[in-house]
Structure 1
Amino acid sequence: MKKIYFFLTLVFTGIQVQAQKDFQGMAVYESKTQAPKFEGMRANRDITPEMQKNMEERMKQMLEKTFILNFDKSSSIYKEEEKLDAPGQQGGMRIMMNSFMGGGGTFYKDVKAKTYTVDKEFMGKEFLVVDSLPKLNWKLEQETKQIGGYTCYKATAVKEASKTDFRNLRPKNNDDKKPEDKKEDPKKTSGETKTNFQDNFELPKEIVITAWYSPEIPINQGPENYWGLPGLILEVNDGRTTILCSKIVLNAKDKATIKAPTKGKVISQKDYDETVIKKMEEFREMNRGRDGGPVMIRR
């Protein structure tokens, strides 16, 4: 009898180990980013109200994306769902927006090794960013809500804003300046300011993160570079961007291949950020003072 019990225990343990090894899931996330409040891309007399409306609609569409997260117990890949560009919509503009809004490429996380790898294209060059996963000091709270039938718990954290993720771009607050720094701008007329776009917008130093995770799916994965909670993260709000899970499939018959991308020049996150910032400064100086360059900003 003891031999039979021992044999059944081994079989049951083996089944559990195999089940954990084969465990895999897929989650669909809808990402929406609130565009910065500015009027017009450029102060151009040729831009009609209808053209302005069309540009705003295109911007809105480019800031609304669908992502797929394939995950197992220790790793995941997060990638934008491929879509055909609508007639008249330029694919090049979408690629450029991805570069400047923190998107693009395949984001691979290994939560066991605490590393990530993401392939990015910037200014026609391919990079492979490899670095350690950021460790957030999550504050677990008791507040709950339902997302897609799963009970989710709230968690919050504060992180340093990325200098190359322009989704949180915001108008500068001149109220924080000292009186002696508040000089009259000769370009101000009738409540409007004509100046370089980048001179009027800034990135915050810190961002408050609010996440909702479900212990019913006991893996410490999530969208983008978010992880480290006792359950799959189904919703994240980090500033102007909200990422919400709309569908979950666990242990589907067809398994996805979860592995890190390999194409591109290997670079750390710090070095990649410095490269982007340098190019942005060059672009800024090149466009400063150019005819047709000012932006119309409502005060």
Structure 2
Amino acid sequence: MRILIADKFPETFIQQLKENNIDVIYNPKLGEKDLPEAAKDVDCIVVRSTIVNAETIEKGTNLKLIIRAGAGVNNIDIQAANKKGIPVSNCPGKNAIAVAELTIGLMIALDRRIPHNVIDFKQGKWNKGEYSNAQGLFGKTLAIVGFGNIGKEVAKRALAFGMNVYAKDIVKVEFDGVKEFSNFEEVLPIADVISVHLPATSETKNLFNENLFNLMKNGAIFINTSRADVVDEDALINAVKEKNLKVGLDVFKGEPEEKTGTVSSKLQELENVYVTHHIGASTEQAQTAVAEETVRIILSYVKDGTVINRVNKK
């Protein structure tokens, strides 16, 4: 079996694949435009954030399996894979703790304005009076939208902080200490923090629009570490300006696919918006867990054709 790994992947697990007589091509610098040529003769493609488009799938004459080394599969053209009968698999839950940790980190950073503190110090400014008026998170109300693996890990940490936690999901929320809500009108007006953990689907596209932002209280913290498509970015920008929302994002519209380079976004102009570099799952612990699951999927397929965690139709 010949496998192309088109994103960063731990060397230990590459060696494990090779020890199982699997031919591994490792090129973590490949982008969407490079994949059609690079993947045309491989049996399996493994990606993290690199886009696997229809052209790549169509030109993959030997392609038998696509693995997303992570949870969401919105960077893979599922429809094109379905047309060719190619299974698509993922690694659900393996990066949940890492994303939850970043989510909590953004909450604290926004409340205490940690980046602003550091920048002022680096520039030789001392503004203790300016930064001595944080609200604190204890006793504050958190609304978690999307209560899957990541949402649950966020809830655990928020409860430990003494927060009052509400959650909404497509299935019933059953979690000690967490209150379920069904209508945004119930909770958004009282939420001090809103954290989004949703997949990108036709139902969630631009879910957070002008109407939902209008429900939020002035000065609330809004965090999205899931997918950029779930937020109407123009409506978000208006809410920051008009309602003084404090915003933490690990994803945004027009995010560069390359690992390094330049970036340009209207969000850069906003004082109350902190944007990280889509690093939610990028801890060594998470990448090890994801790599272990990816290897498990590959070896299972090699052994008897079983596709673990298949996400598309058979």
Structure 2 length as normaliser, TM-score?
0.26
Structure 1 length as normaliser, TM-score?
0.27
Higher strand share: 1
The higher radius of gyration belongs to 1
